[in-house]
Amino acid sequence: MSGCLRPAGRTGDRGGLGLAPMVDTISAMEFHARNELPDWRVVLGRIEAGFQAPSFQAAGAFVGQVAAAADAAGHHAAVDLRHPGHAHVALTTHDHNELSPADVELARAVSELAAEAGLASRPRLALGFEVGIDALDIDAVRPFWKAVLGYDDAPTVPGEQILAVVDPLRIGPPVWFQQMDAPRPQRNRIHVDVTVAHDVAEERVAAAIAAGGHLVSDKQARAWWVLADAEGNEACVCTWQDRG
């Protein structure tokens, strides 16, 4: 099995990662059927909106308003501010990896703030990025990727297999695991580079090995160490050091 044939518990699906349905959740179809928040798009279990301000300062002021609205609602957004004046806002109900009415209400407030400030909406800039890893034994390879990335297991319910790991700050892309039905004899043609602060690199390498990985090469250390999980999928832990 290969490709993007995500198992039933993919991050971002309704009932994400095996979670039992909860009361008052909103599916992607339900959200877009409402047609009441044209600034927003559903991407990987969250809703995202992009806004263009006339200056970086104006975009920063808008971000401050979004933060205040989130505090008032008790439901917090992920916000990204970029030059020359782009603000990106993402909302989800993290405990369930689903959308809820709280996301809709805060999205409405954010759109109102943007309209009052005269910001232009850029909804088509919404983008989701994930890394998928095929595995014969998901439980054997997942701890390696959790350790080497410094990630957490994705939320699930007791007794359900964990099929993904996620950045605790939701900045880096999720990594999910697809069940293979046969091994691949060829060498991997893609690997992941994980660049970390120089003073945590060796700790990260040791954690990845302790989690079931192995050292492929340290010939270029401290610039990078080449590691692999239990099935040979490679990741390099990198720093700025010893690069000539």
Mean pLDDT for each consecutive 10-residue tract of the chain (244 residues)?
A: 41 39 78 94 93 98 98 95 96 85 97 98 87 95 98 90 94 93 81 93 98 97 96 95 85
Q: Which pair of tokens denotes residue 124? A: 């088509």
Instruction: Report yes or no on 6 lying in a domain.
Output: no
Q: Which pair of tokens denotes residue 6? A: 């995500």
- Kindly compute the dihedral angle of the four CA atoms of residues 187, 191, 197, 198, in this order, to the nearest 10 degrees: 30
Residues 121, 154, single domain; the answer is no
Residues 68, 165, single domain; the answer is no
Instruction: Report yes or no on 99 lying in a domain.
Output: yes
CB 231 within 8 A of CB 140: yes
Residues 94, 27, single domain; the answer is yes
Residues 7 and 11: their CA atoms lie apart, in Å, by 10
Residues 120, 21, single domain; the answer is yes
- What pTM was estimated for this model as a whole? 0.80
Residues 32, 116, single domain; the answer is yes
> Concatenated DSSP letters for 209-221?
HHTT-EEEE-TTT
CATH number at residue 102: 3.30.1360.20
Residues 23 and 176: their CA atoms lie apart, in Å, by 26
Residues 103, 46, single domain; the answer is yes
Residues 156, 114, single domain; the answer is no
Residues 105, 157, single domain; the answer is no
Final residue of a structural domain among 100, 125, 150: 125
Final residue of a structural domain among 125, 141, 169: 125
Instruction: Report yes or no on 243 lying in a domain.
Output: no
**Number of structural domains the chain divides into:** 2
In the chain, count of helices (H) and strands (E)? 5, 13
CB 111 within 8 A of CB 91: no
Measured in residues, the chain has a length of 244
Residues 152, 205, single domain; the answer is yes
What pLDDT score does 97 carry?
72
Full domain range(s) for residue 74? 16-125
What pLDDT score does 244 carry?
67
Residue 27: strand, helix, or coil: coil
Instruction: Report yes or no on 75 lying in a domain.
Output: yes
Residues 147 and 100: their CA atoms lie apart, in Å, by 31
Residues 207 and 169: their CA atoms lie apart, in Å, by 20
If one counts every other C-beta atom within 10 angstroms of the C-beta of residue 162, the result is 18
Residues 162, 183, single domain; the answer is yes
Residues 153, 221, single domain; the answer is yes
Residues 170, 232, single domain; the answer is yes
Final residue of a structural domain among 125, 143, 172: 125
Residue 41: strand, helix, or coil: strand
Q: Which pair of tokens denotes residue 29? A: 């179809």
